[in-house]
Structures are given as C-alpha cells and as structure tokens.
Structure 1
C-alpha cells in the first residue's frame, strides 16, 4: 500500500470519525433510540385505550375492519383471507390514530414546554447581559427629522454645509 493510499484512508477514516463526533449526529442517534422506546408507549395507549373506545361502536380490534374489493370474500377464524381481495381500512385508521397521538404528545409535552423554556432563557439572558438602550428624547428625534429634511432639500451629492455667496 502506498503512502498516498494510506493517507487517503486515514483522511477518510478521520473524516468519518469527525462526522460521528459532531453533536447533531449524536443527538439524532439519541432521538432515534428515545423515539423507538416512545413508540411502544404510544402503541400501548392506542391498543389499551383508543381501540376499546372505538370498539364500543364496533370491534375493539381495528385491524378487523375491512371492505371486500373483489368478492366473494371469505376469512378463516384466525382472520386469514382465504378468498377475495380485502381493503383493510381499519389498519390504516389504527396507524393514523397512532400517528396523531404521537404527534400530539410530542408537541404538547415536549416541543411546547421546550419552546417556552428557551424563550424564558433568552429573555433572562437579554435582561442580564444587555443594558437597556437609553430612549431618545423628543428634542433629539426632532433634530434628526430636521437634518433629514434639510438633506432632502439640498439633494444628493451636495455638501452638508450650504455654500456662501
């Protein structure tokens, strides 16, 4: 192996190590692990709470809701399709409810409180680090308006001091 090839390999490995050690990659990995664990909680809520509520109007197993697209449609007692083509809209409904619940929990229990905390931290740091700018007085504002009007009257490209004759 030549020196240039080994240098390139070290450079690629070094670049890969730098990529992995970036903060956002590590944060993303943590988020994926937490998200996977959180999925189990949401699935349990859907199966243990939402499905029974929906089951009060029909069956508690949303996966059993289906429509026969091409018949005749028959199933075994286990739910396996033996004949026909089913559209299993109950599974889509269950997945949609799981998504909505997950999104609501993430927004209301994670993002909203974090946003409020960051706003409080930013407000606190502004008040402690930045001194309040002194408010301009009416006299200073009137002087600025006067100077602007005089400059507009003279036109661009002229000196600020009028020429004497």
Structure 2
C-alpha cells in the first residue's frame, strides 16, 4: 500500500486548489460569469488530472472510481473553457452533476479503502459534501450561479480542508498491516 502513501501530495494539491478557489469566490462575490467559468474550468481540470493520476497509481480497489472522477472533472473543465459565454443556469447544471458524480465516486473509493487505511472517513466526508453541494444547486437552479458564489466558496473551502486532512493522513500511512 506504499502507492497510496506516495500519492499523498496529489490529494494535498487538490485540497489547496479547492481552498484557493473558495477564498477567491468569497473575496470577490461580484465576480463576472466569465471569470467564474474560468475559475471552475481551471479547478475542474486540476482536480480531474490529479484524480486521474491518483487512479492510475492506486491499486485495483479504488482505481476505477478515481479514474471516473478524473475523467468527469477534465470533461467538465473542457466544456467550461470551450463555451465561456455559457449561461449561468447551464454552468450551474454542469457544476451540480460534476459535484454529484465525483462525490459518489469519492464515497465509493473511501468505502473501498476502509481495508487499506484508517480514517478513510475523510475521503467519504469530502464526497458527501460534494453530493450535498450538487443536490443544493439542483434544488435552487433559478437563483443562478452568480447568486450562489458564497455557497460555492464555502463548499470549496470545506472540501479542500477534508482533502488536505486526508492527504496528511495518507502521507503518514505505513505499509504495516492494520490490526483489527
């Protein structure tokens, strides 16, 4: 299980990217939709690439879910960059479905990693936060993405904190077997 410990920094980068994005969203709530699209696209791409890289580095147990999460993130980033004039409601649905799919993938990966690491709940918490965020966006689509900047920022910060906590836990993972 040394491969999990060797990729701790990827989780750390994902967490730091989420926190930076969250603070930028909170600091500039009047941000234009085009800049918000660029922030989301960049975050989607960074998160997707690192999830994909993690998927290729991990064992078979969590590989498929991390790869799926990475592919979805990369595709969401490409769509956001390709059509920067996208309406706020269309972006809201892209963000909502990305959050739900990647959140479910992280919950499943966390459950599957229960046999390999302690405190896998940090990955599960990040996934649950992602699903809740996506569902909230679907419940209130009429408000538009711009009016949800505070929710987006808060989610990104909380998600980033859970990813960093997981990264630090995984970094300290040893290859000694767990005692039941």
- Which is bigger in relative contact order (C-alpha 8 A, separation at least 6)? 2
User: Same fold, TM exceeding 0.5?
Assistant: no
Instruction: Say which structure is richer in helix.
Output: 2
Instruction: Say which structure is richer in strand.
Output: 1
- What TM-score bracket applies, with the shorter chain setting the length? under 0.3
TM-score by length of 1: 0.27
